[in-house]
Structure 1
């Protein structure tokens, strides 16, 4: 009976979302498998082909042909892995990120259309049932729980950054609303005017919800990037997520040609300071100040990236 119910559910759901109809699949030129590979590359920007093959349980030859097609289409770049020269690191190009963003947008539109036919009072029951299916089947398989993924922000994420910074820093350090106002101004400046080729925001997502953020923006000094708004929600700590977010900024800054990355923080943020130190940043200046209702010591940190970076 259980087997029949599961098979019936599979037939029902794949028909509902149009998974078997290539022409209906989000109205893009990519198959389901190709779309999933683009999704993984978006959310794990520093992966290699071997890890991708394992994560998606794909045949090595099939994945190789798929990646070759992506490379011909200008969607990805492949280079030797920094950890093991025998491996090939795969990363999305700007064109690849655009294609992945289109897929994400179409997917969200499709899910929104699906939910529009469900009464609002029934939606919590629907999502709870889906979560139950996922939890039960995940616990009965040898696969590890989902790891946090990094992605570009979608509508609502920038507001989440402001809200979560304000709430978390008030709870952990007693900072007042002045800090939330500062974060709001930083986010608003980015939203209103930024260069997408030189400035980016990343959202960390775990189990479908945002749990972290970081921003890379141009500093006033030529050739200098500034790391801002690093945040890891307490519910997601212990995954090495802070290190991943900082490393993502550093790698991005290096790839687009910045000569150095700088940041400003406060001495009470000990966990963040340890992350910066492990990433290679050095403390270059300190200055006491009173802000956000607290006596603090502000700190400037710096990481040279290219030869000839200013001293």
Structure 2
């Protein structure tokens, strides 16, 4: 990454931080007559999440030094909202838990928070709310400490998925291989033909999800004769590469073609797609012809692969 690109990206992150800090500040301030400081409210929230919590764990979660944490807990304890006592498993450690009064106080704070955040979300229509929550989930997955869910799911396309297939093919192939809008148009025609014949039992498509996010696709469509199937539109998002997603998609596609009685399967790909070519070769496909083409911008080599089913 050159210095100009780095500076632009740093500026974007800073602008987001300023905006989001302002939003969080409004939510954190709460009503003017709030009974608890932000720090006290955060302690009540964390302690309320489980029957009892080790003080050391609480300090780590809220990034509090020992002295400040002790003062916060003392204030809340003096108001009858929580209790501190020695752990039965390790007398060197303290545990903290809410009293009945503490649970009532937390319920009130939680209700206020729901109203505030609900008010923020209600400023946007439902579609924008979903976009906002999706973006938050992406940030959490990328920068959070929690190990992301890597469960792989292959499913049939849902509304919106076919448009996503066209969009991601156009975006990724332009960015990674320099192909122009004519390639995206080709993908759009393949997808449109698939949708026009959606009731044809000889064709199928799969969308791959990894951790709940769309990361890939593949299509099986009829070929030039009744005995030949075509494998088309294998797509892998960069984040999905190396997780066996492509292998699973190709296997599913080939098994469908076998089940439907096809005798052979063909595909066309670019010679530069080394990872995809490796997947095809391991699945049993053989390279049968190559042909240079500039139909999508730069001069590239197209390859036809075939396997007997």
TM-score with structure 2 setting the length: 0.55
How far has the Cα of 1:268 moved from its partner?
Answer: 1.5
Matched, 1:268 2:272: yes
Q: Is the CA contact 2:149–2:211 (under 8 Å) kept in the aligned structure 1?
A: no
* Other-structure match for 2:221: 217
CA 1:125–1:288: 2 relative to 1, 3 Å: closer
CA 1:211–1:286: 2 relative to 1, 3 Å: same
Q: How does 1:121-200 map to 2 (within 5 A)?
A: 123=129, 139=146, 145-200=149-204
How far has the Cα of 1:128 moved from its partner?
Answer: 7.1
- SS of match in other structure, 2:217: strand
* Other-structure match for 1:108: none
> Over residues 170-212 of structure 1, what are the superposed CA-to-partner deviations in whole Å (9 max), with x where a residue is unaligned?
0011111110010011101111124442211100112322111
How far has the Cα of 1:136 moved from its partner?
Answer: 12
* Other-structure match for 2:262: 258
Q: Is the CA contact 1:201–1:214 (under 8 Å) kept in the aligned structure 2?
A: yes
CA 1:303–1:145: 2 relative to 1, 3 Å: same
Q: Is the CA contact 1:138–1:145 (under 8 Å) kept in the aligned structure 2?
A: no
How far has the Cα of 1:269 moved from its partner?
Answer: 1.5
> Over residues 253-290 of structure 1, what are the superposed CA-to-partner deviations in whole Å (9 max), with x where a residue is unaligned?
11121111111112112211111001010011122222
Q: Is the CA contact 2:141–2:148 (under 8 Å) kept in the aligned structure 1?
A: no
| Structure-2 separation of matches of 1:136 and 1:289 | 42
CA 1:3–1:165: 2 relative to 1, 3 Å: same
| Structure-2 separation of matches of 1:287 and 1:206 | 34
If you compute each CA radius of gyration, which structure gives the higher value, 1 or 2? 2
Q: Is the CA contact 2:148–2:211 (under 8 Å) kept in the aligned structure 1?
A: no
- SS of match in other structure, 2:221: strand
Unpaired runs of 5+ in structure 2? Answer: 1-43, 52-120
**RMSD of the alignment, in Å?**
3.1
Q: Is the CA contact 1:264–1:298 (under 8 Å) kept in the aligned structure 2?
A: yes
- SS of match in other structure, 2:299: strand
Unpaired runs of 5+ in structure 1? Answer: 8-116, 306-311
* Other-structure match for 2:208: 204
> Over residues 137-185 of structure 1, what are the superposed CA-to-partner deviations in whole Å (9 max), with x where a residue is unaligned?
994xxx9832221111111110000010001000011111110010011
CA 1:135–1:187: 2 relative to 1, 3 Å: closer
